[in-house]
Amino acid sequence: MNTADHSALRSFAGREALLVEQAMRGDLDEALQGCDPLLAEVIDYALFGGGKRIRPLLVILAARLCGAADNNLYGLAAAFEYLHVATLIHDDVIDNAQARRGREAVGRRYGMAVAILAGDWLHARSLYLVGRFAGTEGLAVFCRSTTGMVDGEFLQLRHVADCALTEEDYFAIILRKTALLISSSCEIGAIFAGAAPEERRALADYGSKLGTAFQVIDDLLDYQGDAGNTGKQSGNDFLEGKLTLPLLRALARAEAPERAGITAFFAGDRLDRSSLDRVRQFIERHGGFDSARQTAVQLVAEADATLAPFAGQGEGASLTMLHALAGYVLARNK
Amino acid sequence: MNTADHSALRSFAGREALLVEQAMRGDLDEALQGCDPLLAEVIDYALFGGGKRIRPLLVILAARLCGAADNNLYGLAAAFEYLHVATLIHDDVIDNAQARRGREAVGRRYGMAVAILAGDWLHARSLYLVGRFAGTEGLAVFCRSTTGMVDGEFLQLRHVADCALTEEDYFAIILRKTALLISSSCEIGAIFAGAAPEERRALADYGSKLGTAFQVIDDLLDYQGDAGNTGKQSGNDFLEGKLTLPLLRALARAEAPERAGITAFFAGDRLDRSSLDRVRQFIERHGGFDSARQTAVQLVAEADATLAPFAGQGEGASLTMLHALAGYVLARNK
């Protein structure tokens, strides 16, 4: 992606994010009316602490690409941010995470009980909005992605510290954990617009590729990112016993003795910061970071290709932005 | 309620519960296909460990009373058991509860992470089923009750160990915590049947009164119940700092010095089993148990009265069973 695209995307995404936030505030004013003040405070804290609003943006772009008018579109888009934040809150409770987006995690700040309940509230409200604006067909797609996300978490738990994890397992996990919701953002945008089945499928496919690439980059940033940019300490995946693509690629390339030295960290429960430095060097030495990045580049190219049938169709700006978003996934550093 | 009614209700409810369980198994076969085996195991453990299936039964009775055919009705009814169990799982994590229905609580058995995720899965699936079978109108009612339940938990957290809790606060909490979902079971049954607005309102009102009475009795059983029947130790509410109706009534009747002795337990964090015995005697001495039971009797009478417009209408057995259920709420000992 060239710099001009990047800058156009950034200003476009910034404007749309403001409109999404406006829609969220309007919806919360209605939904939280008369409720407990702490509930309102926690929901506000969780939703308005930054966040790139990528999932709402995808809903908006996919819907417009398929010819939808904007009426109610932002309400539908808000649902995807609610659900995304609901899962972050519950994940942070499960991982006992301290920070998120450079601030205290909800569970750390307000306690576990409040965090579980606030996640449940956002979950329920997101489903309500999807049903209201995308009907039962949209709801079915949405629920398939939310139940799939839970399944992905179970798969991940099953494979904690499991050095026999295959690439196939890895991609099955990240498809469920991340790509399903991103895919359903695109597909439900298309449903909202009354798109033809092949358009729905193409956008679902775009989202699935994009979401997978997004998570591969996320897993790279977990090793290589700068806490000042990402808002969280690096190395969490390793410390939690999660094997991700860079390490899998390096393990596949290393000779047996060296490989045994690395897997011993997982088997012997030596998942600490001093081991992390050795693992990082090991991945680097075997080209694991480069190899994982190449896979992300390939996935983004495939995502781009799924958009080919839309060329010259509908409103041009949306197509440009969807292409630019695919490029952004590779360029992001947080 | 006389014994003949009670026995007829019991055998009717038992037959219907089997059909609901069949519908749940059919739905899970579809929904859990290809998923992680532990997820399937936990969902099975959580859903099929007893439970009276009262909420599904209410959906079925309300729908039939308004003339619905049975096609898809059990799938809709299953959603209410899913949601109910989802909230129990999360509540037990929050309260660090050890037992539920005479077995280990899900969080105790499988750990907190699994419990949070399994609750999320059931939550998502319940909303999907409501949307599928009761449309977006049913979904709106359902989500109002689920977000309301979270609000009720926040209200309850706010008033932990709060001896200034009023009866109004108490009823606001139990309306949200318990009565909203029971009310929406009845109302959504009516929506499924395409009932007239006044029928919907009457059934929502019936459920709201019934649910409130149900919780008042639950709060009585927490002091007076036999663990052999209820499947959980008694006295949990007091030990967790929750003031419920029997205690509120006794506090309102006691003289200031005696009242101060009781409230000192809450202020001084002396919520233990020896204090519990003293509090139980205090409530008994001031007629708090009798007074709370009288309120439940009154609520059940009001619930019964809301059914008057349905006399002679539709299918007679459903009306008889709804009246019998109201009576059962007072008679239950678990």
Tell me the CATH number at A207.
1.10.600.10
Question: Which of A190-199, A276-285, B83-92, B271-280 shows the lowest mean pLDDT across its residues?
Answer: B271-280
Asked whether A80 and A53 are in contact (CB, 8 A), the reply is no
Higher per-residue confidence, B91 vs A227: B91
Spell out which residues of chain A touch residue B83, defining contact as CB-CB under 8 Å.
none
* Residue B80 pLDDT > 90: yes
In the structure, what pLDDT confidence band is assigned to residue A7 with cuts at 50, 70 and 90? confident
* Residue A48 pLDDT > 70: yes
Question: How many other C-beta atoms can be found within 10 angstroms of the C-beta atom of residue B284?
Answer: 15
Interchain pair A39, B154: CB under 8 A? yes
Which of B39, B112, B147 lies at the smallest CB-CB distance from A154? B39
Lookup result for tokens 């679902």: A204
Spell out which residues of chain B touch residue A155, defining contact as CB-CB under 8 Å.
36
Which residues are CB-contacts of B120 (< 8 A; sequence separation ≥ 6)? A87, A90, A119, A120, A123, A146, A150, B86
Q: What is the mean pLDDT of residues B267-287?
A: 91
Question: Which of A216-225, B39-48, B116-125 shows the lowest mean pLDDT across its residues?
Answer: A216-225
The backbone torsions φ and ψ at residue B104, rounded to the nearest 5 degrees and listed phi first, read: -60, 140
Provide the shortest C-alpha distance from residue A36 to chain B (in Å). 6
* Residue A1 pLDDT > 60: no
Q: What is the pLDDT of residue B315?
A: 66
Provide the shortest C-alpha distance from residue B241 to chain A (in Å). 15
Pick among B76, B147, B165 to test the A interface (most A CBs inside 10 A): B147
Interchain pair A127, B132: CB under 8 A? no
Q: What is the pLDDT of residue B314?
A: 63
Asked whether A174 and A216 are in contact (CB, 8 A), the reply is yes
Cα A51 from Cα A85, distance rounded (Å)? 9
Q: What is the mean pLDDT of residues B249-269?
A: 92
Q: What is the pLDDT of residue A315?
A: 66
A142 exposure class (CB count in 10 Å sphere: 0-12, 13-18, 19+): buried
* Residue B269 pLDDT > 80: no
Provide the shortest C-alpha distance from residue A117 to chain B (in Å). 6
DSSP string, A215-284: HHHHHHHHHH--HHHHSS-TTHHHHTT---HHHHHHHHHS-HHHHHHHHHHHHTT--SHHHHHHHHHHHH
Interchain pair B154, A31: CB under 8 A? no
Give the residue from chain A lying closest to B141, CA to CA.
Answer: A128
Question: Which of A39-48, B88-97, B223-232, B240-249 shows the lowest mean pLDDT across its residues?
Answer: B223-232
Q: What is the mean pLDDT of residues B138-151?
A: 96
Which of B36, B94, B131 lies at the smallest CB-CB distance from A155? B36
Lookup result for tokens 């409200």: A125
Burial annotation B43-52 (CB, 10 A radius, 16+ → b, else e) = beebbeeebe
Provide the shortest C-alpha distance from residue B217 to chain A (in Å). 25
Q: What is the pLDDT of residue B248?
A: 97
Which of A94, A112, A117 lies at the smallest CB-CB distance from B154? A117
Angle between helices A167-174 and A112-158 (to 10 degrees): 150
Higher per-residue confidence, B49 vs B128: B128
Spell out which residues of chain A touch residue B36, defining contact as CB-CB under 8 Å.
151, 154-155, 158
Q: What is the pLDDT of residue A313?
A: 72
Nearest in space to A301 (alpha carbons), one of A216, A221, A224, A206: A206
Interchain pair B128, A143: CB under 8 A? yes
Nearest in space to B163 (alpha carbons), one of B290, B38, B289, B248: B248
Domain that holds residue A311: 3-331
Give me B217's structure tokens.
Answer: 């009795």
Cα A208 from Cα B296, distance rounded (Å)? 53
Give the residue from chain A lying closest to B117, CA to CA.
Answer: A150
* Residue B185 pLDDT > 80: yes
* Residue A314 pLDDT > 80: no
Higher per-residue confidence, B112 vs A231: B112
Spell out which residues of chain A touch residue B136, defining contact as CB-CB under 8 Å.
131-132, 135-136
Q: What is the mean pLDDT of residues A312-320?
A: 80
* Residue B90 pLDDT > 60: yes
Structure confidence by residue, pLDDT tens digits, A231-278: 667 888 999 899 999 999 999 999 999 999 999 999 877 888 889 999
Give the residue from chain A lying closest to B113, CA to CA.
Answer: A94
Share of chain B above pLDDT 70, in %: 96
* Residue B228 pLDDT > 80: no
Chain A residues contacting B via beta carbons under 8 Å: 31, 35-36, 38-39, 87, 90, 93-94, 112-114, 116-121, 123-125, 127-128, 131-132, 135-136, 139-140, 143, 146-147, 150-151, 153-155, 157-158
Interchain pair A124, B123: CB under 8 A? yes
Residue type, B83: L
Which residues are CB-contacts of A155 (< 8 A; sequence separation ≥ 6)? A169, A172, A173, A176, B36
Provide the shortest C-alpha distance from residue A85 to chain B (in Å). 13
Asked whether A52 and A181 are in contact (CB, 8 A), the reply is no
Q: What is the mean pLDDT of residues A34-58?
A: 95
Spell out which residues of chain A touch residue B124, defining contact as CB-CB under 8 Å.
123, 127, 143, 146-147, 150
Interchain pair B153, A123: CB under 8 A? no
Beta strands in chain A (DSSP E): 99-100, 103-104
Interchain pair B154, A114: CB under 8 A? yes
Q: What is the pLDDT of residue B55?
A: 96
Spell out which residues of chain B touch residue A38, defining contact as CB-CB under 8 Å.
154, 157-158
Asked whether A77 and A59 are in contact (CB, 8 A), the reply is yes
In the structure, what pLDDT confidence band is assigned to residue A49 with cuts at 50, 70 and 90? confident
Lookup result for tokens 């495939």: A302
In the structure, what pLDDT confidence band is assigned to residue A229 with cuts at 50, 70 and 90? low
Residue type, A147: T
Radius of gyration (C-alpha) of chain A in whole angstroms: 20
* Residue A186 pLDDT > 90: yes
Share of chain A above pLDDT 70, in %: 96
Q: What is the pLDDT of residue A227?
A: 66
Interchain pair A140, B124: CB under 8 A? no
Residue type, B47: L
Give me A235's structure tokens.
Answer: 């190395």
Beta strands in B56-198 (DSSP E): 99-100, 103-104
Q: What is the pLDDT of residue B234?
A: 82
Which of A121, A135, A150 lies at the smallest CB-CB distance from B150? A121
* Structural domains counted in chain B: 1
Mean pLDDT of the residues in chain A:
93
Which residues are CB-contacts of B268 (< 8 A; sequence separation ≥ 6)? none
Spell out which residues of chain A touch residue B94, defining contact as CB-CB under 8 Å.
112-113, 116-117
Give the residue from chain A lying closest to B132, CA to CA.
Answer: A136
Asked whether A170 and A155 are in contact (CB, 8 A), the reply is no
Cα B207 from Cα B184, distance rounded (Å)? 7
Asked whether B106 and B89 are in contact (CB, 8 A), the reply is yes
B245 exposure class (CB count in 10 Å sphere: 0-12, 13-18, 19+): buried
In the structure, what pLDDT confidence band is assigned to residue A230 with cuts at 50, 70 and 90? low
Asked whether B100 and B115 are in contact (CB, 8 A), the reply is no
CA distances from B224 to B227, B237, B282 (A): 9, 12, 13
* Residue B126 pLDDT > 90: yes
Nearest in space to B79 (alpha carbons), one of B174, B177, B192: B192
